[in-house]
Structure 1
Amino acid sequence: SPHEENIFLAPLGCLLLVRLRLEARTGFPDLDWHCSRVEVRACPGDPDIQVFLCDRWLRTADGDIELRSGKLCLLMDETEEKVKQQRIRQLEHHQKLIRWREFVEGAPHCVDLNSLSELGPNLRYTFKSPAANLYYLRGFAGQAESWTSFSELETVFSFIGHQNNTAKFVQAHWEEDWYFGYQCLNGCNPLLLRQTSILPPNLSVTPDMLRPFLPDCSSLEQELQTGNIYLLDYEVLDNVPANVINGKQTYLSAPLCLLHLNQRGQLVPIAIQLQQTPGPHNPLFLPSDPGCDWLLAKIFVRSADFQCHQIASHYLRTHMLGELCCVSTLRQLPETHPLHQLLMPHIRTSLQINFQARASLLAADGVFDKAMGCGLEGLPVLLSRASDRISYQSLCVPDDLTERGVDKLPQSFYAQDALRVWDALHRFVFSWVSVYYSGDDEVQQDSELQHWISDLNAHGFNNHSGFPQCFRTKAEVSKFVTMIMFSCSALHAAVNFSQLDFALWMPNCPAYMLRPPPQVKGEVMEDDIMSFLPHVNLTCRVLTALMLLSQPAVNFVPLCHYKDTIFRDDAHCRLVEAVQAELKAISDDITERNRHLALPYPYLDPEHIENSVAI
């Protein structure tokens, strides 16, 4: 409320805490009130003001709210025992309100809620979505049959994709091998491709088979050793139960796909095996095979990629990670802890959006139940496996890009942009950490910080994930906090706001496959391919969902822009201004680069990165 109350009191002496309570009054509505801060003067007109920041909504149901004066600080820097006790009381209160719940066995835990109202006004938010015209897509809801031809699909696409330049580019080039490889670097799931120097033992390929697709003067062994062979391995999908959709059994594959970095700098697929176990009924597909065989093999890979993108790259690595960190931050770091204040703008929204996702998209009759190949039976299996396979290294951009060997590829625009954004965030975080920790010994002595990382490990990933079990240095803390901030902002932008662009032409990202992977080659004609692809009604249902999920909010907050009062403090303000200037320079560079690209890569332009996972 803009209303200010002036209350003059007798001298108070040393004022440590202010206690607020919103009380209902008979005859008046029971409304929430927003309090920015409480200012205390020794007497009217005194220029010295003691400020107690609040920056929150008050409710009658919340009882007493205690505010402390002064700046953010660590527990060890508190000099008053009463203030130390207030930190403990606050955490105990939050631990009663914010509890853990298991969503899927083996996956990170989530918040224990039965309704959004339990979050209260300070953890809820309003997502103002731009209007989206969905009437055309919803008009196909009753057509539970397969598409008759690519021509029919192109007619529908022309109505919904004519204003999307990326989708039109995809539709024009999706069958081409160079574009298949390009998507592995810059599509909506740029996280799986990795360089390999050793062929997987379960891939039934020989050097002679691949010789026609390699340079004349080279061999498979030479290409492996020089780092020109890359691998997509979807073993996480092996034997995941497939969904029944529109009354029909669907099929999941777990492909292995080899790609070659050719002399033109293009990544092209050179071998595809659609199941993990080699055998006579699991043929190896090659670019020299009949065109429809090779195209169908690539479509199966893209469908497998769609499952992994939605569950592992998108939901697990951004949504679930943000919620894990948010719950633990609320339970273990008091509001006066500097990392609580730094992190909350990036993770606060995850509680609401994930609760809504579990209640709709991931629930009975939701899109995953009715239109995804893994379905509600396969989802927990895939999510648990993906959680078991995740590593801390894979979540830290510099480590991940180097380990996968994609950091130096000239056309890897995701890698280039992700590394620059990561570096800018890391410098910001390290500067923030250095304001409060003068040395590594203070990191080790911060009991609240150590409880926080212990809680994250207890409710997050398994012990072999490589997550730090404790913090010993400022560098470790800075890297970990950067990982959280990047995952909940930039990574989410890359994997969420791109998905409609690449899936609008449905054969490029089929949500399920209606027939099993072919067991022999040479029997598939062009007309047969349509019988493998999703039905008309569920193609349109998936696109409707992606259209809604890919819309940035009208009221979105750009990366490293903060509304909280604490960020206007002089020391904090200087750090925020520095990182904003660095992000602006990155944005300008990306804009200039994209002007010269046939297919721009805009998803990690900082001006378009949301500060948190809010959709």
Structure 2
Amino acid sequence: MVKTMNYEVTLFTGHLAFASTFNAVYIKLVGTKGKSKRTHLLSLEPSFFKGGVSRFNVSCPTSLGKLVLIELDKQIYFFKDSWYPAKAEVKSPEEETYHFPIYQWITDSEVHYFREGRALLIFEDDSNLFGGYSRQQELKQRQKIFHSADCRLTALQTLESLTCLSPRWDVYEKGVPHCIKADSLDSLPYDVHFSVTKTAEMRYTAVTGLLELELIELAECKSSWTRISDISHLLSAHRTQVLDFVQKHWKEDSFFGYQFLNGVNPTLIRCCRALPENFPVTGDMLSLYGQHSLADEMKNGNIFLCDYKLLDGVQSNTIKGKKQYLMAPLILLQKTPDGRLMPIAIQLKQKPAKDNPIFVPTDSETDWLMAKIFVRSADFNFFEVNAHLLRTHLLAEVFTVSVLRNLPMVHPLYKLLIPHTRYTLNINFLARQLLISKTGVLTRFAASGGKGVVTILQKALSSLTYSSLCIPDDIAERGLNDVPNFYYRDDGLKLWEIIHRFVKEILSYYYKTDDDVQKDCELQKWIQDIYEHGFLSQASTGIPQKFTTVAEMVKFVTMVIFTCSAQHSAVNSGQYDFGAWMPNSPVTLQLPPPTKKGKTSEKQMLDTFPSINTTVHGMAVMWLLSKQSSDSVFLGQYPQEHFTEEFPLQKIKYFQEELKNLSAEIKARNESLDLPYTYLDPEMVENSVSI
């Protein structure tokens, strides 16, 4: 009797909707000593159903040695369908268990190759010696998945004919980070699409938001507001604790200053040691808090500046034939002896002039309030395009595309970063199509819509720096280390340190020396693509063009994860909280700013506000952009098990424990605050830019 070697194969089908297949599934095992026959996986029990675990035996005449690869294919038996295998486990006759991460949709009848889960750098990988599936072939296969529709590839084409293809870059607008080339949402592969659950919960149109907020009947009302109290009726369908606080306190100087620290745009304010030449504030104009002079307060680090110079010269929108107004203000603030941040001067245009007065708190109540309203409208447009769109969404897409272009699944950096790319290509395609296109909601209803958005993006990218993306460097450069009640800084720095420690431990396990970093051509191509296509090869940004040390790599990867998770949460999650009460964050303004003091009335302020229909469309967008889906994956959660070795799995557990402790610390702190800051609580931070 011929002795056979039995391999126990367990296949896990994912829990996604429509993950099941009724078709025939075949497997081939590849090891260092040979290959099994292509085996039809048959069972007396139903197999390959959503969330199912299916077990089979594969017999071989001799041992295959160490397993390095499995080959899977799905042939039509009943009807064409898609299958989502999560992972495979194979127990060998030698009692060794091998893990094969998959986490991909199989939609065709071609052979798909999946490497054993141990992470390997390119110079460590000897799979080709055993007739395995090479890293280069995997990238070519991925390239085929992305572009078979565009290039009309046939099943007869070999992998070698695909060398000219890659997940291609596209230029959305000159001077803006490049994006994935896709003619339609359907041209993107299943693996980057929203789940059925998320798609059902988030039909990405303003109409959906209007319906959920019960504002659909106001969508075409072009009238101006006649009473402030009427605006509160818009909030009846959905209120939050923060929103209630905003509505109550929006006129107060202390809350105006607070938002520069803990609102949706905590990235602009900086310590002011010397006044800009175009902001001719003198001590005689001001009523400072405390006994010191303006010069002394600047010397002591108690004066702060917010300068919206990137908005200067931006062509403002025209809505329904009516010109809109977008200022580029400068704001001076003082840290008071009791720790508050209070505005002390506002200039609404960059160039000093008689018709561009400097407003101060001792002006009439309506003059001062109107100046603050123009600042808040400028902040909405600046933050939405720069802090939110550019610095999180567009950069996250660059990081994602470079991962898909350059890193095979077996690469440790792929395993580390792929959770932080979830849904990013889908959400960004929708954003370009439905928010900032010629017919997009922001184009039609925001002051910066149309050409203004592109201009802001171009100016912002040209002035962007690597250090500003790294929160420890950014806080230090802006002189904000000692500002009290700065919860974005406090929580952000702690999150950065936790992420940095985790990244350092994981990557140092695989990169033992700086030489390992330098000779990893896949890693170097990843950062080169980011430098070239994300930052348009601008050396002035300080973005590395290559990595020479482990420390350089660890810092950059920390920035990538922080940007895709924590930073996006900080600038995205509070949009409805701080912006739904329109007077606090007008998406646009319909009248020019006052040119003289003492002329502003409440009626003029109401006429300056956006029209009713513009207001409700802005609310709907902020509602949708702030709304998490029920299948959100939060920082530290890894439902997809890409790492399989014991060391990274232990570090993941420690990472999760540190995040849990930080979350408890933040919750305890928030209990004593009138306005809790929750946007960097790890339990609220999604793993990726997915909304």
TM range (shorter): over 0.9
1:203·1:256 contact (CA, 8 Å) conserved in 2?
yes
2:213·2:237 contact (CA, 8 Å) conserved in 1?
no
How far the C-alpha of 1:173 sits from its partner, in A, is: 1.1
Counterpart residue type for residue 365 of structure 2: G
1:21 aligned onto 2:73: yes
1:149·1:530 contact (CA, 8 Å) conserved in 2?
yes
With the length of structure 2 as denominator, give the TM-score of the two structures: 0.84
Partner of 2:252: 176
- The 3 A distance-change label for structure 1 pair 97 and 12 is farther
Aligned counterparts of 1:386 and 1:488: Cα–Cα separation in 2? 19
1:77 aligned onto 2:124: yes
- The 3 A distance-change label for structure 1 pair 10 and 553 is same
Give the aligned length: 606
- The 3 A distance-change label for structure 1 pair 374 and 245 is same
Identify, as 1 or 2, the structure richer in helix: 1
2:117·2:642 contact (CA, 8 Å) conserved in 1?
no
1:146·1:531 contact (CA, 8 Å) conserved in 2?
yes
Counterpart residue type for residue 242 of structure 1: S
1:191 aligned onto 2:264: no
Aligned counterparts of 1:112 and 1:66: Cα–Cα separation in 2? 25
Deviations 1:196-239 (A, max 9, x none): 111111112223223x22433x2111111111110100010111
2:569·2:686 contact (CA, 8 Å) conserved in 1?
yes
How far the C-alpha of 1:31 sits from its partner, in A, is: 1.0
- The 3 A distance-change label for structure 1 pair 423 and 135 is closer
Aligned counterparts of 2:139 and 2:495: Cα–Cα separation in 1? 33
How far the C-alpha of 1:188 sits from its partner, in A, is: 1.0
Partner of 1:146: 224
How far the C-alpha of 1:64 sits from its partner, in A, is: 2.8
Partner of 1:236: 310
How far the C-alpha of 1:5 sits from its partner, in A, is: 4.2
For 1:467-478, list aligned pairs within 5 A: 467-478=543-554
How far the C-alpha of 1:425 sits from its partner, in A, is: 0.7
Aligned counterparts of 1:391 and 1:71: Cα–Cα separation in 2? 36
User: 3-state SS of the aligned residue for 1:443?
Assistant: helix
Partner of 1:372: 446
1:8 aligned onto 2:59: yes
User: 3-state SS of the aligned residue for 1:8?
Assistant: strand
1:489·1:612 contact (CA, 8 Å) conserved in 2?
yes
For 1:469-488, list aligned pairs within 5 A: 469-488=545-564
User: 3-state SS of the aligned residue for 1:108?
Assistant: coil
The worse-fitting range, judged by mean Cα deviation, of 399-408 and 385-394 is 399-408
User: 3-state SS of the aligned residue for 2:84?
Assistant: strand
Counterpart residue type for residue 243 of structure 1: N
Choose from 229, 246, 252 the match for 2:320.
Answer: 246
How far the C-alpha of 1:348 sits from its partner, in A, is: 3.1
- The 3 A distance-change label for structure 1 pair 603 and 53 is closer
Counterpart residue type for residue 150 of structure 1: I
Choose from 50, 66, 86 the match for 2:113.
Answer: 66
How far the C-alpha of 1:20 sits from its partner, in A, is: 2.7
The worse-fitting range, judged by mean Cα deviation, of 545-554 and 9-18 is 9-18
Aligned counterparts of 2:140 and 2:283: Cα–Cα separation in 1? 63
The gaps in structure 2 that reach 5 residues or longer are 1-47, 144-164, 203-207
Choose from 174, 196, 218 the match for 1:105.
Answer: 174
User: 3-state SS of the aligned residue for 2:561?
Assistant: helix
How far the C-alpha of 1:40 sits from its partner, in A, is: 5.0
- The 3 A distance-change label for structure 1 pair 84 and 297 is farther
Aligned counterparts of 2:140 and 2:105: Cα–Cα separation in 1? 20
Aligned residues: percent identity? Answer: 40
1:214·1:220 contact (CA, 8 Å) conserved in 2?
no
User: 3-state SS of the aligned residue for 2:345?
Assistant: strand
1:313·1:495 contact (CA, 8 Å) conserved in 2?
yes
User: 3-state SS of the aligned residue for 1:606?
Assistant: coil
Counterpart residue type for residue 59 of structure 2: F
The gaps in structure 1 that reach 5 residues or longer are none
User: 3-state SS of the aligned residue for 1:11?
Assistant: coil
Partner of 2:534: 460
Give the alignment's Cα RMSD to 1 decimal: 1.9
The worse-fitting range, judged by mean Cα deviation, of 93-102 and 398-407 is 93-102
Choose from 612, 615, 622 the match for 1:539.
Answer: 615
- The 3 A distance-change label for structure 1 pair 85 and 465 is farther
Partner of 2:25: none
1:494 aligned onto 2:570: yes
Partner of 1:278: 352
How far the C-alpha of 1:51 sits from its partner, in A, is: 4.1
Higher RCO (CA 8 Å, separation ≥ 6 residues) = 1
User: 3-state SS of the aligned residue for 2:557?
Assistant: helix
User: 3-state SS of the aligned residue for 2:105?
Assistant: strand
- Which entry has the higher C-alpha Rg, 1 or 2? 2
For 1:196-207, list aligned pairs within 5 A: 196-207=272-283
Partner of 1:94: 142
Choose from 60, 74, 85 the match for 1:35.
Answer: 85
1:418 aligned onto 2:470: no
How far the C-alpha of 1:39 sits from its partner, in A, is: 4.8
For 1:504-519, list aligned pairs within 5 A: 504-519=580-595
Partner of 2:194: 125
